């Protein structure tokens, strides 16, 4: 990058860097990841911050994603994990009868229906967050160099059961569920406070869970033979 005098960088980080807590998370909240994935993200964040301190001409944007869901609306781009563990892909596997039931990890959380609540963000909103960040980095505001961090989330929580209901509504497919004990390391509720990205990057999530379920199911049904 130095050879080509490129000193602008956007890093895909994660909410997994935070010491997660049950209130909407702001960028200044404590970090201290609970798993190796979060630790690798935090290490890279720290390398980028050191790079900026050593040369303040760098323009670095660290974007902390909450729970990405959905696919491109064309159905041509989507998540092709072979053995997914995230909620929406597991719902798809169950809908496609590749799994017998959807395990629901915990129904005794301190949430409105007892199941886990997450800040699910549509992948296209996430992509637009990168565009807004890139536009901001090359704007006059960042002329002298910058290294900043933003949450990319919606600020709204959706429970596991709500996700199942919305998926059933848009797909017309019934998902058999099985209540299981809480999954190790899970929290009841993880929600972003996305105000800083709104203020500084002029970015806000526009799509909802229904949009995410429609696009992800389209991707799944168009590509099912190639996926598993
Ligand atoms: O088969 C499943 C899968 C998930 N869940 C529940 O669904 C919710 C979301 O779980 P995911 O596995 O989809 O996502 P996580 O919130 O655990 O983790 C995701 O978000 C984190 C940040 O919040 C990190 O980025 C992490 O890498 C990423 O997978 C949780 O309540 C979980 O218990 C189920 O009930 N059944």
- CA–CA–CA angle 40, 44, 46 (5° rounding): 115
For residue 97, give every residue at least 6 positions away whose Cβ sits within 8 Å of its Cβ, in sequence order, or none: none
Q: What pLDDT sits at residue 228? A: 58
Q: How far apart are CA 210 and CA 130, in angstroms?
A: 22
CA distance 149 to 68: 18
For ligand 1, the distance from its centroid to the CA atom of residue 117, given in whole angstroms, is 9
Q: Residue 147 — very low, low, confident or very high, per pLDDT cuts 50/70/90?
A: very high
Model confidence pLDDT, tens digit, residues 35-47: 899 999 999 999 9
User: Is 37 tagged catalytic?
Assistant: yes
Q: What percent of the chain has pLDDT over 90?
A: 82
Q: Token digits for 128?
A: 């637009």
Q: Read off the pLDDT band of 226 (50, 70, 90).
A: low
Buried b (16+ CB within 10 A) or exposed e, 31-56: bebeeeebeebbeebeebeeebeeee
Query: Cα–Cα distance between 89 and 75 in angstroms, integer?
Result: 15
- pLDDT for residue 227: 61
**Alpha carbon nearest to ligand 1 atom 7, residue:** 87
All residues at 6 or more sequence positions from 83 whose CB lies less than 8 Å from its CB, including other chains:
none
Q: Residue 200: in which H helix or E strand, if any? A: helix 195-201
105 Cα: distance to centroid of ligand 1 (angstroms): 10
Rounded distance between C-alpha atoms, residue 1 and residue 42, angstroms? 22
Q: What is the dihedral of CA 122, 125, 14, 94, to 10 degrees?
A: 10
Tens-place pLDDT, residues 88-122: 999 999 998 989 999 999 999 999 999 999 999 99
Residues lining ligand 1, judged by CB closer than 6 Å? 14-16, 37, 66-67, 85-87, 90, 102-105, 116, 118, 160, 183, 186, 190
As a whole number of angstroms, the distance between CA 23 and CA 85 comes to 24
Instruction: Respond yes or no on whether ipTM tops 0.85.
Output: yes
Catalytic residue among 4, 37, 148, 228: 37
User: Is residue 164 over pLDDT 70?
Assistant: yes
Q: Which atom of ligand 1 is nearest to the CA of 20?
A: 23
Q: How many CB atoms lie within 10 A of CB 95?
A: 21
What domains does the chain contain, in order, with CATH numbers?
8-227 (3.40.50.720)
Query: pLDDT tens-digit profile of 6-38?
Result: 999 999 999 999 987 778 999 999 999 888 999
Pocket test for ligand 1, best of 105, 151, 161, 209 (most atoms within 8 A of CB): 105
């Amino acid at each position: 990058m130095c050879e080509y005098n490129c000193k602008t960088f956007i890093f895909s980080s994660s909410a997994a860097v935070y010491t997660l807590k049950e209130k909407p998370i702001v960028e200044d909240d404590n970090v201290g990841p609970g798993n190796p994935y979060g630790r690798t993200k935090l290490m890279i964040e720290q390398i980028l911050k050191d790079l900026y301190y050593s040369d303040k001409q760098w323009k670095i944007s660290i974007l902390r994603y909450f729970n990405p869901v959905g696919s491109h609306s064309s159905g041509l781009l989507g998540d092709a994990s072979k053995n997914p563990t995230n909620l929406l892909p597991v719902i798809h596997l169950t809908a496609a009868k590749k799994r017998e039931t959807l395990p629901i990890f915990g129904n005794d959380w301190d949430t409105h229906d007892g199941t886990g609540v997450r800040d699910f963000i549509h992948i296209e909103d996430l992509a637009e967050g990168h565009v807004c960040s890139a536009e901001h980095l090359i704007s006059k505001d960042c002329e002298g160099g910058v290294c900043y961090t933003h949450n990319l989330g919606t600020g709204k929580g959706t429970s596991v059961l709500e996700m199942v209901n919305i998926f059933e509504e848009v797909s017309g497919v019934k998902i058999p569920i099985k209540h299981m004990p809480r999954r190790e390391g899970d929290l009841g509720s993880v929600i972003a406070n996305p105000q800083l990205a709104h203020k500084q990057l002029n970015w806000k999530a526009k799509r909802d869970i229904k949009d995410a379920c429609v696009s992800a199911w389209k991707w799944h049904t168009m590509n099912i033979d190639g996926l598993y």
